[in-house]
Structure 1
């Protein structure tokens, strides 16, 4: 069982290399993820739901960073060049990857989902 503070700290450690991300940001993302999954901010999250909630919070965090970096630019001056235009794109791709991991984990943990696969016919 994990508390909001413990999960926020874990999330903050995952984003520690990102400039301007604070523990408050990580706490907000974790709160949103907990509420999305039916937990209150004072409740303890069962161990089997921690990874699911943290993946959701990570995806939300990456999406928020992508939004805040969308205004970045490319600048060229003679021999010097600064290109920050792809930062937002990279965070959007990261958010999408995290969301896909979240969806897979949720399907596995929430009843398994449908695992039916139809084989391709050999005569075609």
Structure 2
């Protein structure tokens, strides 16, 4: 599958707390990158991989297609994996990101922080357990 052109395709870190490493987040957006901040709905993907493999780049065909077809900002969590970070680390990490997005009204991922945020959750394989 040929990936659609993205106006925004990058990687950011979201702080998680003093004693925990930051959360690695991939961002995908097909529209004008300046309009990313104006959204109040995002799609948050937690890619599968049995909690041990498959970071977001392995799922870019789906992630970029969702961004193109929905017109929404799409984020994908590159959660820490076992064995270095045993279960349930990845689930807690994704939940912390979810809470942080809601609490900051999306400011932690580059949204304006002025609107309540709606999050559409997507996942496959092991990460459906979230």
TM-score by length of 1: 0.33
Q: Which structure's residues are more often strand, by fraction?
A: 2
Q: Which structure's residues are more often helix, by fraction?
A: 1
Question: Which of these two proteins has the greater Rg computed from alpha carbons?
Answer: 1
